[in-house]
A and B are shown apart, each in its own frame.
Chain A
Amino acid sequence: MYAFDVVRPSSLDEAVAALGEEDAQALSGGQTLIPTLKQRLAMPSKLVSLTGIADLQGVSADGGTITIGGATPHATVAAEAGSFPALAQLAGNIGDPAVRNRGTIGGSLANNDPSACYPAAALGAGATITTNSRAIAADDYFQGLFTTALDEGEVVTSVSFPVPEKAAYVKFEQPASRFALVGVFVTKSGGDVRVAVTGASNDGVFRWSEAEAALSGNFAPEAIDGLSVSGDDMISDLHGSGAYRAHLVGVMTKRAVAAANG
């Protein structure tokens, strides 16, 4: 790793001020950032740790909405997001237990890894990502591979999920990394169906609109028989070709719908 300082502010205001300095970077759970630093793929002058800020911690449910502090670790979401079982289950299957004790929802969403699980939940549930300066709808937040609507120095303070009537997340796990080779998060609220796919596209998480249209008329796995996504823009690597991932999108969507129907 290159040399850098780490500061641990106890308030959001202090963190935002520290992030205003040149080449300062936010550090949440560090489960992606620290390996990146070890490979010398980043050279911050200063890391601003967010995990000591009490306001960014915790899970709260209010009516039909569940709100999670930006620096809340996956293990806490798995244990405390019981009012949105598909979300709790997703959090409880990220990485491994030790990783889940450090990695955070805000870190995952800010990084927007194309194979991460949380982007699928946020987009699939139509979450709102709140930062120190504004609220961003998930539909506007994800802007491609490792790219989000966040500005330089902007911090994810919380994520609010409207709890859907039915939901499920199913991932086909890459067994070494435990990231999603393909993961699909499906929600249904009244006639509104959302299908968010992670792990598959070169552009990162996306909504499969044809499947959403078919499922909003008939929320059953067979509703998407005959539908397919093109493999042309899919990630192709030694773990699976683009065509294979495109096939998995259909299979995982059917499984997610079946799971959501219980």
Chain B
Amino acid sequence: MAEITLTVNGRSVTKSVKGNTLLVEFLREDLRLTGTHVGCDTSQCGACVVHVNGKDVKACTMFAVEADGAEVATIEGEAAPDGTLSAVQAAFQEHHGLQCGFCTPGMVMTATALLRDNPKPTEAEVRDYLEGNICRCTGYHNIVKAIMAASGQDVTSIAAE
């Protein structure tokens, strides 16, 4: 066991963890932050994407002890404390960027990371950036549309397919 101290959604947390505890297990089971999902557990699907020191990573493929001292952001921290959705979350709601919703936390965290580095991406850049996020409902069209809308770009010309 090792004691780790990290900041999760702005709050400092200190816990003892086993060496082989994955970051996603730590978030879900030790902190009960179950918004971060486990889809494939093989770093393919992206349902577990969180931010570590501002970078999007797959929490199923990183150990909790590697996040010692880091700033971690999960889907639970995206809305304001009063419940006001982030721009990306609001756009997903407005443009129905989800079907079953299982992939949505990872999609929102990935999209948020993209827009931080590239505030006005093209549709092709959005699709390219989502390479590691799989929606098994295949609802990509509205996900892409939502991300384009969240970036403040006009999406009226993106027709439904």
Contacts and interface: CB of A to CB of B under 8 A. Distances in A.
Interface residues of B, number: 28
A99 B66 contact: no
B99 interface: no
A37 to B, nearest CB: 7
Contacts of B131: 96-97, 178
A102 B19 contact: no
A52 to B, nearest CB: 8
A6 B65 contact: yes
B134 to A, nearest CB: 10
B2 A97 contact: no
B57 A101 contact: yes
B93 interface: no
Interface residues of A, number: 28
B90 to A, nearest CB: 23
B34 interface: no
B46 A98 contact: yes
A47 B43 contact: no
29 contacts: A1-B20, A4-B19, A5-B19, A6-B2, A6-B19, A6-B20, A6-B65, A8-B65, A8-B68, A30-B62, A30-B66, A31-B43, A34-B61, A34-B62, A35-B61, A38-B41, A46-B19, A47-B19, A95-B132, A96-B133, A97-B56, A97-B131, A98-B49, A98-B56, A98-B58, A99-B58, A99-B132, A102-B58, A176-B44
